[in-house]
Chains A and B, each alone.
Chain A
Amino acid sequence: MTTPWRLALFVLALIVLVPAVWHVALALPAFGAPTEQYGAAVNALLTATRHVTNMVAAVNFDVRGFDTLGEESMLVCAVTGAVVLLRGTRGESMTDRAGKIPGRAVAPRTDATVLVCRIAATLTLLFGVYMALHGTVTPGGGFQGGAIAGSSLMLLYLGEGYESWRRMVRSPALDVLEGGGAFVFVGAAAVPLMLGYALLQNVLPFGTPKDLYSGGLMVVANFAVGVSVAGSFGLLLLEFMEETRSPDSESMPDEED
């Protein structure tokens, strides 16, 4: 199908859909009017009943915890699929060292770049861990904290160069982080089930509000998700970087010793 035909189809779809969208937009509740009873109930009740102050985390890990379990599985599936596709064509002969093309000079980084990247990467990693751990108290949570912690790996790469980066960041470690986090989350969901409660029912003591430990089982689920997301982001980064290696191993593994 050529572009003019596709455009014609698009215009046809627009002619049908625009009046429908207009109709729905007029029928929706006015912007900014409180309508949702569910959210209002969560806001009113969960601080007292679950001892948490971040309602978004409470919805994610307690009230709608089952949905988050599905979301986490989807994340793990997508990342696993991406990694399998990338590794599959590159071959299983995965080397732990960075490839090197003989004769191509590696441009050295200035000291300032290395210093700034080391400081920034450390701070970013710390901030990510802080964000993930305080998920039930202040804005943040496992997903956000994990993503921030994962992106600190990028800063490390920027400062250290690919070779030292590969020496620091090991693929099996990231695999364990990703899978282990997901496993702990599933465990946190399944243990109440085995004890005769509902899935993800909050069986742990709730702790004190505004404390690092507040929310009982939510803390465990939150931490597991944070670890898993950090591992997933690191793994994706690593596999996309490895993609620059040529598949027929023309590049020689660097002999450092």
Chain B
Amino acid sequence: MSILPWLTAAWLFGIGVYGVVTSRHYVHLIGCLTVCQSATYLLLLSIGYWWGAGPPIFYDHPPGTPAVDPVLQALVLTDIVVGAAVTALLLVIALQVHKRRGTLDPQSLRPLRPSQ
């Protein structure tokens, strides 16, 4: 089953999008977006994985021992940090929407109009 990780990543992304599509609340929607994003973590880490390889840290074993791909691990780190910051920003925006409109249901929100 060498394609199982790729399919799992696709499935994670899919259920995230399903959650976004059927969402009734913006905070739930932001959570679903995070699920979508975790699909990218899984995909990147799976691409970088080698059977039988250790962590790419050569503190107690010498350089040259098999180690997983450090470039993809660094990419996942970037992904997580940016994801956390953007989630915080989205939550703030949801907070502002709730203050102005009193609701966070995407169904009942209408486009912004200039205030009379």
On A, residues with C-beta under 8 Å from B are: 2-3, 6-7, 9-10, 13-14, 21, 24-26, 28-34, 36, 38-40, 42-44, 47-48, 53-56, 58-60, 63-64, 67-68, 71, 74-75, 78-79, 81-82, 85-86, 89, 137-139, 141, 143-144, 147, 210, 229, 232, 236, 243
Contact = CB atoms under 8 A, between A and B. Distances in A.
Contact of A86 (B4, B82, B95): B95
A56 B21 contact: no
Given A79-B85, A85-B96, A7 B21 contact: yes
A210 B60 CA distance: 10
Specify the main secondary structure of chain A where it touches its partner. Answer: helix
Contacts of A147: 84
A25 B10 contact: yes
B74 A64 contact: yes
A47 B58 contact: yes
Given A10-B18, A44-B64, A68-B78, A31 B85 contact: no
Contacts of B22: 3, 6-7
20 contacts: A2-B107, A25-B10, A28-B3, A31-B5, A34-B50, A36-B69, A44-B63, A55-B56, A55-B67, A59-B73, A64-B74, A68-B78, A82-B85, A82-B88, A82-B91, A85-B92, A86-B95, A137-B59, A143-B81, A147-B84
Given A67-B78, A139-B55, A42 B70 contact: yes
Contact of B21 (A6, A144, A229): A6
Contacts of B17: 10, 13
Nearest to A35: B47
B110 interface: no
Given A9-B21, A32-B49, A85-B89, 15 more contacts: A25-B3, A36-B71, A40-B69, A42-B56, A42-B70, A53-B57, A54-B56, A56-B77, A59-B73, A60-B77, A78-B82, A78-B85, A78-B86, A79-B85, A139-B55
Specify the main secondary structure of chain B where it touches its partner. Answer: helix
B72 interface: yes
B21 A28 contact: no
Contact of B58 (A10, A26, A53, A82): A53
Interface string B38-56: 0000000011111101011
B81 A75 contact: yes
Contacts of A58: 70
B61 to A, nearest CB: 10
Contact of A31 (B2, B81, B93, B107): B2
Nearest to B67: A43
B32 to A, nearest CB: 12
Contact of A74 (B49, B59, B82): B82
